[in-house]
Amino acid sequence: MSAFRPKESIVRRFIAAESDSLVIETSETDSLNNQHLRILKLEGTWRANEENELCFDVVLHSGPPQTYTFKGAWKLNNNQQIEYNCGDGPDVLVFKGYWDLSSASRLAYIFEGSSTSRFEFKAQLESPVLVPKKGQLRYRLGAGVRRSRLSGGAPVIILYGEWKFGRNLGLIFQMDYGRGRIRRIEFGAQLTFNRDKIDFILTNLDGQPLGLTLTMTHKFLKTFDAQAFIRLKSLRNEQAVEAGISVPF
């Protein structure tokens, strides 16, 4: 009688996520119980599916495309980058990129060094009115990003940054991604003057509204950017003259 031989088995482990590739380690045990390790670098494109799950579409030379879907929870690390815990030990994939606000209902994460890979998540602002001194944007994800039964509720993504004035009194949300990496999200703005505050109704650079309003009080604006305060005061006076009315400020 011949000796029993175990079936061949292959174990995959995700090593690294790069701009347009996924690095995988495979461990194969053959029928003689010999182990063979291989490192594979798969070329493809990263994206998010309708459930806000992270996906990688592998580009194959022949045959239909293959998709890896990462169904576990992802989170932001201290550098505001996306991290995914593979669930099989300490292995964590870190996606190097930066955030962009492309529309009112979408939150985009752009990969560094790629023109194709990006995550676009369905998201909703937790509050459409922003307070500049807090320096954060809070988005509640619409679907996906699974949580434990005990935590409940849709997860919230918090982006931290600093508000600044740009050219033509546009606004900039400047984010620190660690190790001296600074990225800026630029906005256009429509202004509404009130007695003791100004509302900046934010748009993207194409002039499309984002559903965001940044409210600055008269007192805060003076200390926040004195030069911008003077320019806004001058603009208010010009608008009042053109309209023939008094705009409170």
**pLDDT greater than 90 at residue 105:** no
| Residue of 81, 16, 18, 12 lying closest to 45 (CA atoms) | 18
Give the up-direction half-sphere exposure of residue 12: CA atoms within 13 A in the CB hemisphere: 9
Find all residues with CB under 8 Å of 238, minimum gap 6, and list them.
Answer: none
Rounded CA separation 7/186 (Å): 57
> Where does the pLDDT of residue 155 fall: very low under 50, low under 70, confident under 90, or very high at 90 and above?
confident
pLDDT tens-digit series, residues 206-234: 888 898 999 999 889 988 888 888 888 88
User: Helix (H, G, I), strand (E, B), or coil: what is residue 81?
Assistant: coil
pLDDT tens-digit series, residues 36-45: 889 999 999 9
Rounded CA separation 167/188 (Å): 10
| Residue of 38, 243, 213, 16 lying closest to 132 (CA atoms) | 213
Residue 64 vs residue 189, higher pLDDT:
189
> Where does the pLDDT of residue 53 fall: very low under 50, low under 70, confident under 90, or very high at 90 and above?
very high
Residue that the structure tokens 């890979």 belong to: 117
Find all residues with CB under 8 Å of 133, minimum gap 6, and list them.
Answer: 220
Return phi, psi of residue 207, to 5°: 85, 10
Output the pLDDT for position 207.
86
Give the mean pLDDT of the chain. Answer: 84
Strand order in the sheet with 82-85: 74-76, 82-85, 92-95
Structure tokens given for 58:
């592998």
Residue 196 vs residue 9, higher pLDDT:
196
